[in-house]
Amino acid sequence: MSGSLTVEITEDLAEPHHVRRVVFIEEQGFSEDEEWDDLDAEAVQLVIREAGKAVASARLLRDGETGKIGRICVLKPNRGQSLGAALVRFGIKQFRDTPGVTRVYLSAQEHALGFYERLGFVAYGAPYLDGSVSHRDMELRL
């Protein structure tokens, strides 16, 4: 990842929503109803900016002992720069630093299993469809 691109927490939902709209709705074909939920208000929103504009985003949620990293996405021109890995590593550190959190969970698109395995996650359970895309649950024990 370029030294000038860093993960930041943002309160501005417009930034991650723009990246998610481009990646999940326009590029991958998820519907508005599949993408937008009421969890954004309680989530910690992460972005990576280039030239002042968000080019990658993710969100962090907590449910008891489980931290969840979700909606991980990178705009197509910015892929291959380790931005997705930076978001995941930032999320893992946030949860590691949160008392009481013992595991990190994510729902991975099946084509990305190897990416998450390289970051320490292990797949479990059967594949399932989210929208029309096959996913697997993955976890990392802290």
| pLDDT tens-place string over residues 47-79 | 999 999 999 999 999 999 999 999 999 999 999
Mean pLDDT of 74-94: 97
| pLDDT tens-place string over residues 3-35 | 568 999 999 999 999 999 999 999 999 999 999
* Total-model pTM: 0.94
CA angle 133, 108, 36 (to 5 degrees): 65
Whole-number Cα distances in Å, 52 to 6, 8, 90, 141: 12, 12, 20, 35
Say what the pLDDT of residue 1 is. Answer: 54
